[in-house]
Structure 1
């Protein structure tokens, strides 16, 4: 039972752009005297590539609640990236819209594929969707938090811990109170990011050659993901402070050899 629940939790956390499940509505009984089928009016397709606004807004709340992990970070943004194994995924001309029964908010997507989610009580109340203008199934999203003053090629550990808090908050909002309470009971804590059994790799946009935590005078090498496109930060190891940095070396693109 414990392994089953933890496996489902890991799948949820590692697939943050999986579309939500929804049930089919029963069809109305046909009228005997009706000669022509009634017209079908499509008001919207509630099958979002992203989560609902209510789920994503839980991440905004977590950013505010745990902002002390990264006090110099101005905001949490959300980054779109291609899902692993997806084919013909276009990362240009991305557009997102918050769509509810009456609310409609267009969200600009920056050149680095990130966007900011505004506060909207109307969108939360209507359980609005975040709709992407691309075919579903090819994209993921992830929180993107950066403190001011962090050198290029490095990540601050507290920023990554806060990203985990945002991600877990959206997961808890999506699975609901009962399943969240069950996981809390199994893990014996409500702090999923700090638990030894919860390992979340940080995905990168380029292949990683090495990731090294700078801990005082020590250089602590971090485990890389199996595909080389990420690393495993020590989120739950309290010995490492939030202000400590991770130095990332990327694999240099090999230039083609000149023809003989």
Structure 2
């Protein structure tokens, strides 16, 4: 009898599962969408079992919901859908997609980055057709994308993201989601799920992200590092998964915060590639409290492309670390003051009240060689 050996890689399996469970919506494209004149490859899908697919009806519900609510939340936006691979080993070459039913077969045109749109078809709806790929079940995250054309690179609009959230949770339901009992109590009472402070929607940027800033006129707010890389996920999930595909692209924004109007811009500052820097720097202090540090004092001894992460750790102690598979790591040093720190630590109470919190954070990207590639020091007053 031939011996069969099966290897089970828990981190990769768990990462794929959790990406499916928590990465609800908001996949952004990395290249501009093609114009109407740009050539697009037509594809066809042969019938097969165990394929990755979603009911066609869900896409129709998404389009109906978009038509009803976009005039208010995102009047200039466009609705698309997207497939994003959940596993590093997944193949996307020769990917094919079609609306498929007993007598219906409508090939779909795939844009760059696997975006696509769908037309309404009465027969497909009547036949309970599916939107089917030629890949095995579980290969992709299927997502909604709402985007206003003409925005600067790495910039999203808050109203677009709010509508995107509502389409996914109230209409399309293309992803798999995990919610707390509190969520079901609130939504059963008629609450808008995307306006709940305890709803976390993970979004994904066009490229690896270093910082997220909300901008509305002269008002600017840098979001805390916990808004990046799935920082809101429970600690046990992050402990077993480590890095996963696309984690350095993840971000969250306070969709529920009505003080930020729908035309607020969400600026995503990308991670940079930094060359070795020969600029002379002062020796680091023996030790220093983060609370007393200023940007000016920090700039005297922290030089991007030169300063060692060990020097920073020697001054401020041990950071919160997220290690990415490509070699870079996110380091965060944080101090928090005020009563909000205590209230936020109380289960349920902190979620419901979201008290004012005063944070000071030093966020760094440390390269594979242990050198600081990028950093920022921010003080912020938050209610999330």
User: CA contact under 8 A between 2:51 and 2:136: conserved in structure 1?
Assistant: no
Alignment correspondent of 2:253: 233
Q: Which has the higher strand share?
A: 2
| 1:65 and 2:85 aligned | no
Deviation at 1:189, TM superposition (A): 2.5
User: CA contact under 8 A between 2:20 and 2:141: conserved in structure 1?
Assistant: no
Name the SS of the counterpart of 1:228 in structure 2.
helix
Question: Residues of 2 paired with 1:130 and 1:54: CA distance?
Answer: 9
Alignment correspondent of 1:150: 151
Q: Highest Rg: 1 or 2?
A: 2
Q: 1:92 to 1:133 in 2, by over 3 A?
A: same
Name the SS of the counterpart of 1:76 in structure 2.
strand
TM-score by length of 1: 0.72
| 1:140 and 2:153 aligned | no
User: CA contact under 8 A between 1:96 and 1:106: conserved in structure 2?
Assistant: yes
> What is the aligned length?
212
User: CA contact under 8 A between 1:12 and 1:171: conserved in structure 2?
Assistant: no
Alignment correspondent of 1:249: 269
Alignment correspondent of 1:56: 59
Aligned-pair Cα RMSD in Å: 2.9
Gapped regions of structure 1 (runs ≥ 5): 1-9, 17-42, 176-181
Q: 1:130 to 1:211 in 2, by over 3 A?
A: same
Question: Residues of 1 paired with 2:257 and 2:200: CA distance?
Answer: 12
Residues 228-237 or 102-111, more deviating: 228-237
Name the SS of the counterpart of 1:145 in structure 2.
strand
Question: Residues of 2 paired with 1:13 and 1:55: CA distance?
Answer: 19
Deviation at 1:135, TM superposition (A): 2.9
Question: Residues of 2 paired with 1:207 and 1:155: CA distance?
Answer: 15
TM-score by length of 2: 0.50
Deviation at 1:159, TM superposition (A): 0.9
| 1:170 and 2:172 aligned | yes
Q: Which has the higher contact order (CA 8 A, sep 6+)?
A: 1
